[in-house]
Amino acid sequence: MDKSSKKAILALEDGFIFRGRSFGAEGEAFGEIVFNTSLMGYQEILTDPSYKGQMVCMTYPLIGNYGVNKEDVESSRPFVEGFIVKEVSRISSNWRSNEDLGSYLKKNNIVGIEGIDTRRLTKHLREEGAKKGVISTKDMNEDNLVKRAKESPGLEGRDLIKEVMCKSAYDWNSSGKYRVVAVDSGIKYNILRNLAARDCHVRVVPATASKNEILSFKPHGFFLSNGPGDPAALPYIVDTVKSLLGELPIFGICLGHQILGQAFGGKTFKLKFGHHGGNQPVQDLTTRCVHITAQNHGFAVDVDSIPDKSVVLTHVNLNDRTCEGMEHKKIPVFSVQYHPEAAPGPHDASHHFDKFVEMIKENTR
């Protein structure tokens, strides 16, 4: 630990206090605290727009040892509210590295704290659930910080996608054969790379796009992206998706999966501490195979609440048995709760992109 670093405090809404030292930007950051179990991929995690409104605690103890580069970002900038690690490496040992992690966070005004017991924090979140919190290098009054953490906004009921989505439509891989409209609720670049690698010309549109705006591209397929916040706070997207069911093949990932669940008439609910990391076991109920998946979400679909019995459960999480995938048996629509594009994480589930393109091919014959 760099002894010259400024002191910092992490305070949780339930009174848990951790004292450490700051890295990155100085100041204050508020958000729901979650833990991520990935051993690497911190740059992709930082730039995943799904983390808007949250502060991430990394369970792996040493973070930052391979620095930061310009190629591994998953969006235009970091979206985490704050970053929590046991120890940050001041040495960036990788030929691709452009700068160290602390400098990168400082440049992007992200507050970080190191030198705390991240195992204790993770255990607490597992037992008590995700908590609102604050990281501060300015206010050192513990009671005041706990009070301010309690008063800060949580995730439930919040629409955060308007803070992370694109402001206007743009094209990705305009030479692709299959036209796909991707609704940007906080889309990751590697999703777009995976679609482009399968000969898709992707038109990325804001999450507020209307049915007419989507269909004006004359798409062969429709994609629903990941994103932050409470899926129950997005009735405008749910209504748009509902109006498109049966019109063309649809594939949803993460928040897109949750939006589809609501478009089918179902409900979503908040998980105790969510699924965040690259080592989440999911079983495909059709093949009985188990895939190790990358995940980042705090809400889930209550598949039993969906009245349309043509919608079937296809994948389950082996840790808590929650819904990880579903499919409609009469129209070409399916979704998964996890991230088949990885970045970071395993590639076990990348075949879902192949399935989507095969649906498109079948629908265009």
Residue from 44, 81, 327, 341 carrying the catalytic annotation: 341
Closest CA to 11 of 154, 142, 179, 196: 142
Residue from 44, 57, 201, 254 carrying the catalytic annotation: 254
Q: How far apart are CA 199 and CA 206, in angstroms?
A: 22
Note if 254 is an active site residue.
Answer: yes
Note if 339 is an active site residue.
Answer: yes
Could you give the count of Cα atoms lying within 13 Å of 202 in the half-sphere of its Cβ? 25
Note if 128 is an active site residue.
Answer: no
- A 10 A CB-CB count for 246 gives 11
Q: How far apart are CA 164 and CA 17, in angstroms?
A: 30
Q: How far apart are CA 46 and CA 75, in angstroms?
A: 9
Phi, psi of 25, deg, nearest 5: -80, 150
In angstroms, how far is CA 303 from the centroid of its own chain? 20
Residue from 297, 328, 339, 352 carrying the catalytic annotation: 339
**Biggest distance spanned by C-alpha atoms of the chain:** 66
Residues 6+ apart with CB under 8 A from 102: 23, 24, 64, 88, 90, 112
Residues carrying an active site annotation? 254, 339, 341
